[in-house]
Amino acid sequence: MPLKVAIIYNDPFADSPGEIGESEAIIGVLEEVVAVKKALLELGHEVQQVALRKPLETVRQTIRDIKADLIFNLFEGFDDDPNTEPVVTAMMEEIGIPFTGNPSSVLALTLDKFKMKRVLQKANVASPPAQVLTPHDILTFTLNFPCIVKPKDEDASHGLTRASIVNNMEQLFEQVNYISSNFRGQAMVEEFVDGREFNASVLGNRELELVEISEITYSLPPELPRILTFESKWFEETDYYKGTGVTCPAPLSGKLREDVVNAVLASCRAAGCRGYARVDVRQDKDGSIKVLEVNANPDLTPELGIARQAATRGMTYADLIQKIVDLALE
């Protein structure tokens, strides 16, 4: 049945460019908006675009004024505070309008990488040991090198560079200081797992279904650590972009595939994911799967991520978008 659908997203032109050159990811949301709108129109739905702008206090009324059967939620938080993403989703919950993707509680949980780790630990899902540090408590460090240092509450590889892998206390201090200075005061430090890297997407509400598994493949110069940096996603002329690829479906043996699937589904259930999500994992030196992150409402850009994985299942992009709409209406 045709629906009136409003696509909400953060207006990248209303935000100021990031001080450390990471506005590309914010502008990239427009590619998603165009693709989702095109798919919804192909499916026969009536579509309106609603670009959300600061201040946050005005957003509730903007959402309240939307006349639609459903909101397709592509809002990723304003550029200076990703924590506004679950806040805006909570507004939709309060107003009572159906929306796609995960509830505010799940978005808030998965955005806080360290809190999500505690949830995984409680659910007996293996994940690398980690600490939250600032430059003032660096001497409380208890992990084993090498480690990866990343923002505690960011996505889209914000803050990840070749310097993110640290091998001694001097490098640790420098990177914790950098992350703390640029990303709201706290850094998450995690023991680095340098094995094969996979990600897998799921669809569903009470019952979650694996879409497919992709493997991240690296062909980098030996001095560059094998991680998904911000450059590898957004800057085409860099070694990281050129040396980072994806194989989908991932070439996995029966046992390894089973281990990845079990870790992905257990992680999403522990987080309470609804609609669609993606989980990033790595294989450690002993061959065990370690969950790195759970990503609620992951990127829907065509031919990437979940869209690529859905295509291996015979789903068109429009099929995927309709499935996400149907899950929102359940």
pLDDT digits (tens, 9 = 90+) for 101-156: 999 999 999 999 999 999 999 999 999 999 999 999 999 999 999 999 999 887 76
Mean pLDDT within 18-28: 55
User: Position 280: which residue type?
Assistant: D
Q: What local confidence, expressed as pLDDT, does residue 154 receive? A: 78
Residue 17: the pLDDT is 47
Token digits of residue 212 = 């497919």
Domain 110-125+194-329 architecture: 2-Layer Sandwich (3.30)
Q: Tell me how far apart the alpha carbons of residues 64 and 266 are, in angstroms, rounded to a whole number.
A: 36
Highest CATH level, class, for 4-99: alpha beta
**CA-CA distance, 277 to 290, in Å (whole number)?**
17
User: Does pLDDT of 327 surpass 70?
Assistant: yes
More confident residue, 236 or 281: 281
Residue 31's SS3 state is helix
| The pLDDT of residue 19 | 46
- Is residue 87 within 8 Å of 56, Cβ to Cβ? yes
245: exposed, middle or buried (Cβ count in 10 Å: 0-12, 13-18, 19+) = exposed
- Among 202-216, 222-236, 250-264, the least confident range: 222-236
State the Cα–Cα distance between residues 257 and 107, nearest whole angstrom.
27
- d(C-alpha 127, C-alpha 139), whole Å: 23
Q: What is the C-alpha to C-alpha distance for residues 72 and 320, in angstroms, rounded to an integer?
A: 13
Residues of the chain with CATH 3.30.1490.20: 130-191
Q: Any idea how long the chain is?
A: 330
Architecture, CATH, for domain 130-191: 2-Layer Sandwich (3.30)
Measured CA to CA in angstroms, residue 87 lies from 13, 81, 276, 314, 322 at distances of 21, 11, 19, 35, 25
User: In DSSP terms, which residues pair with 50 in a beta bridge?
Assistant: 8
Q: What is the pLDDT of residues 51-109, one digit of tens each?
A: 999 999 999 999 999 999 999 999 999 876 889 999 999 999 999 999 999 999 999 99
Residue 127 CB coordination number (10 Å) = 25
Checking if the pLDDT of 20 tops 50, the result is no
Token pair for 168: 């001694």
Alpha helices for the chain (secondary structure H): 23-27, 29-42, 59-64, 84-95, 104-111, 113-122, 169-182, 230-234, 239-242, 254-271, 305-312, 317-329
Tokens of 184: 């709201």
Computed over every residue of the chain, the mean pLDDT equals: 93
Q: Shortest CA distance to 266 belongs to which of 116, 88, 50?
A: 116
What pLDDT does residue 24 have?
Answer: 60
Residue intervals in the chain for CATH 3.40.50: 4-99
Collect all residues with Cβ–Cβ distance below 8 Å to 243 and sequence separation of at least 6. 218, 219, 220, 221, 224, 232
- Binned at pLDDT 50, 70 and 90, residue 309 comes out as very high
Q: How does residue 14 score in pLDDT terms, banded at 50, 70 and 90? A: low
